[in-house]
Structure 1
């Protein structure tokens, strides 16, 4: 049996010139590397401090945690800040987003946590709903829920 590679048949490799795509907001956002990597680089910038304050206020408002004395025999899960810059379609900054996330890789299954189920919509379901909306001329609205996974079901 002769394979394509043995016959010298290969898929063509298409390369994209990023410099020619800089006028598009998505490519600018993807190619820019302006997001900070850690807390030290953001502690001096007022816009990132405001984003972190908003996140802490939302976590406290939702009663995400409760301060308790540390038991000596338990594993403490650390946390870290993750920063993202959200852009409008016309290349301007929409907002600065800071999230405080748990470092779950330090947990042990069955000891530190039990398995849970988180209902998430599949992409195919969204495509079907959008297709039905187009076919039936339905109006669509978008909704963004802040801290959606912190709300109880």
Structure 2
């Protein structure tokens, strides 16, 4: 029997405008421990291309349709699993009388490779007229839509501690030479995250 790990993930739940709604704690499966052909056969990840989003918004504007936002409620927690998947007891929740027992999963958890494929039935909550979508502030007017990413840009500047910085056309001259005495980045993942947010 192959057993995968589990861990806790703590994440803030945001409102459509990007402000804090509540703090969430969730047990997730360590899907990277899953073995192809044993723990899963197929995977699927529904993603939408930016061009598709623009096309749908354009059609809605031309047809003068209202654009509303929906939230899929606990989509991952409704899909059934066809494979036999066993997971360690979550940290801090282990049964003290049976510490070596494992959990046989009946439904998908966040982190499993087949989680998105298994989520075909779910309930949705109507959040009303769209105001904030994928970091873009949206204002619907009689002439169309006004899109702004000023809040998103400010968030990136706050993460980089650069809110009071002065803009420059070129941050570093093209022919700048670095020496072997230059200090390495303390936390490369921090800088990768900032660049990835752009």
TM-score range, shorter chain: 0.3 to 0.5
TM normalised by structure 2 equals 0.34
More strand by share: 2
More helix by share: 1
